[in-house]
Amino acid sequence: MAVVAGVAACSAPSEGGSGGSSAESVVIGVGSEPDTLSPLLGYGKDGNSKIFDGLLARDAHLELKPALAKSLPEVADDGLTYTYTLREGVQFSDGEPLTAADVVFTYRTILDEKTNNTARSELDAVKDVRASGDDKVVFTLKYPYAPFAGRTVLPIVPEHIAGKQDPNTGSFNTEPVGTGPYVLSAWSKGEKLTFKANPNYWGGAPKVKTFTMAVIADDNVRATRLRSGDLDGAVLPPNLAATFKSDTGMKSYQARSYDFRAVTLPTADKVTGDRAIRQALDAAVDRKAMVDKILDGAGTPAYGPLPVDDPSFAKGIEREQDLGKAKRILDEAGWKAGKDGIRAKDGQRAAFTLLYPSGDKVRQDHALAYASDAKKAGIDVTVESATWEVIEPRMKDDAVLAGFGSTGDPDFGLYTLLHSSLAGDGFNNMAHYDNPAVDQALDTGRRTQEPAERKAAYAALQRELVKDPGYTFLTHIDHLYVLADRWDGLTTQLEPHEHGFASGPWWNIEDWQPKK
C-alpha cells in the first residue's frame, strides 16, 4: 500500500521507448511509482530492486539464495546468531568496494527511530548487528525468529554516500547508488524512471541495456499505449489483458499472488466500528461472484489474509454469501430496517463512505460490487474515488478498498496488517484493528521457532478474524502482464501485493536474452 499512484503520462517516453525497435531497450507501463528509492526508508525491502542487492535474494520459486553474501548464513544452535560472509570483489556503481561496514550501516540506520521507515517493526528481532572484519556480518537476535534469513533480502546502501546525509531528506532518496544490475539514469516524478545497465555488475553485464518504467496510473491508458507500440509491456487488469490474447507478437503472463483486496473498517467510525456491522458485511459479500465477474476467474475468494493454498491457511473458515445470516446479525444487534430498506440504530444510519484510488478499475469494480451486496443487507455504502493524497488523511475515519499481501512467511504480511501496536502507522493496520487474541497469535508466531506452534497461532488468528473482522476480505488476485515476445528467460514468481514495479516478468530482467 505504501506506494503513491502516479499521474497518467500521455507523452511517449523519450528514452528507450520505441515499442519493438530493439531487444536491448525495454519500456514497461506500471500503475504507480515508489515514494523513494532509498532502502533506508523501505524501498526494495522484499527484494527484486534492480539498483540494489541484499545479502540474500529469492529465485523463481522464492527459495533463498546468496547475493551479496557468498553463501546462506551460519545459524547458531540457539537461533540467536546469524553470520554472513560477503562475496569478494563486489563494487557499488560508483566503483567503491562493498564492505561489512555498509551492511551494518544499512541495518542500524533502518533500526534508528529517527529514520522514517514504517517497516522497522519487521526487524524487531534484531538486537545488534556488527562487522567482523571487512567481510563478515554478525546479527544477534533478541529472540529466535524463524524467518529471519528472509528479512536479509533487504538492499544494502553505501555508507560513504548515504552516511553523510539525513536518511529522511537526503538526495540519496532520488539519486541512489547500489551494487545492483542497473543504475538509475533519470527520474521524472509521476512520469517515468529510466535505468541503464551497470557494466560492472558482479553478476555479469545485462543484455537489456536500458529499461524505462512509464508511470501510468490509469489502466485504460496503459492498455492503449501498449497497443499503440509506445510500450513493450504492461501490468493490466483481467478485462484489458484479455483483449491482447489474439495479438501476434504479444505474450501474456499470469502470476499467482498473495495480493488480496479488502475493505478496511475503521474502528473509530460509529458504523464500521460496530462488530455486528462488520460481521454482517462479511456474510453479505459474494466473493465468488467477484472472482468470476471482476477478475474473469484470475484469482480466488479471500476468506482472510492468507490464500487457501497457503500451508498456514486455517481449513474450515471458507464461507459462502449468506444474506439471511447478515440480516439476522443486524436484527439481533438492534439495527432495524427503515422505509428505504437502510438500517438504523439509536438514530445512527447504517451508512459509510468507501474510498478507492482513481484509475484502478479492479478496485472500482470491487467497491461497487461490495456496495451492492451491502445494500441487500440494509447497509448503505457510498463509493468514492480519490487520489492517495486525498485518501491517506481520511483512512482513520473512512473505509478504503485496500490491497495488501506479502510472500515468504505469514509474519511478513500479517503483523503489519493487524497488530494493534501499528494502528495508523502509515499504511500499516489501516483499520486501526485492536484484538488482544490476534495480537497474542501474532507475537507467538513471531517469537517461536516451533513450526506446529506457529501454524496453530496463525490458524487461531484467522478464526478470530472471522468472529471479529476488522477488514472485509474479498479476493486474492492473480497478476496479469502482457509483453512483446522479443526475449527469452521471462518467468514469474509467486508475487506480493507490491507488483508491477519490482515484481512481474521483469523481476529478473538482468537475465533476459534477446530471441535469436
pLDDT tens-digit readout, 374-424? 999 999 999 999 999 999 999 999 999 999 999 989 999 999 999 999 998
Task: Note the pLDDT of residue 359.
Answer: 84
3-state SS string over 15-69?
A: CCCCCCCCCCEEEEEECEECCCCCHHHCCCCCCCCCCCCECEEECCCCCEEECCE
> Is the per-residue pLDDT at 122 higher than 70?
yes
Q: Any idea which architecture 42-173 has in CATH? A: Alpha-Beta Complex (3.90)
pLDDT at 15 exceeding the cut of 80: no
The model carries a pTM of 0.88
Q: What is the mean pLDDT of residues 222-226?
A: 96
**Banded model confidence at residue 19, pLDDT cuts 50, 70, 90:** very low
* pLDDT > 90 in the chain, percent: 88
Query: What is the per-residue pLDDT across 293-334, written as a single tens digit (0 to 9) for each?
Result: 999 999 999 999 999 999 999 999 999 999 999 999 999 999
For 267-303, write each residue's pLDDT tens digit.
989 999 999 999 999 999 999 999 999 999 999 999 9
Domains 4-19+21-31+180-253+480-487 and 260-477 share a fold: no
Ordered by start, the domain boundaries in the chain are: 4-19+21-31+180-253+480-487, 42-173, 260-477
Of 441 and 8, the structure prediction assigns the larger pLDDT to 441
pLDDT given for residue 146 in this prediction: 92
pLDDT of residue 23: 80
pLDDT given at position 3 = 38
Q: What per-residue confidence (pLDDT) applies to 119?
A: 87
- pLDDT bin (cut points 50, 70, 90) of residue 107 is very high
Q: 198: phi > 0 → left, psi -120 to 50 → alpha, else beta; which?
A: beta
Mean pLDDT (whole number) for 92-106: 97
Strand order across the 348-349 sheet: 336-337, 343-345, 348-349
Q: How far, in Å, CA of 289 to CA of 301, rounded? A: 9
Averaged pLDDT score across all residues of the chain: 93
What percent of the chain has a predicted confidence (pLDDT) above 70? 96
Rounded Cα distance, 410 and 434, in Å: 19
**Which overall architecture, per CATH, does domain 4-19+21-31+180-253+480-487 show?**
3-Layer(aba) Sandwich (3.40)
Q: Give every CB contact of residue 328 below 8 A, 6+ residues apart in sequence.
A: none
Q: Please write the tens of the pLDDT for every residue from 334-379.
A: 999 999 999 999 999 999 999 999 988 899 999 999 999 999 999 9
CATH number attached to the domain at 260-477: 3.10.105.10
Confidence of residue 499 (pLDDT cuts 50, 70, 90): low
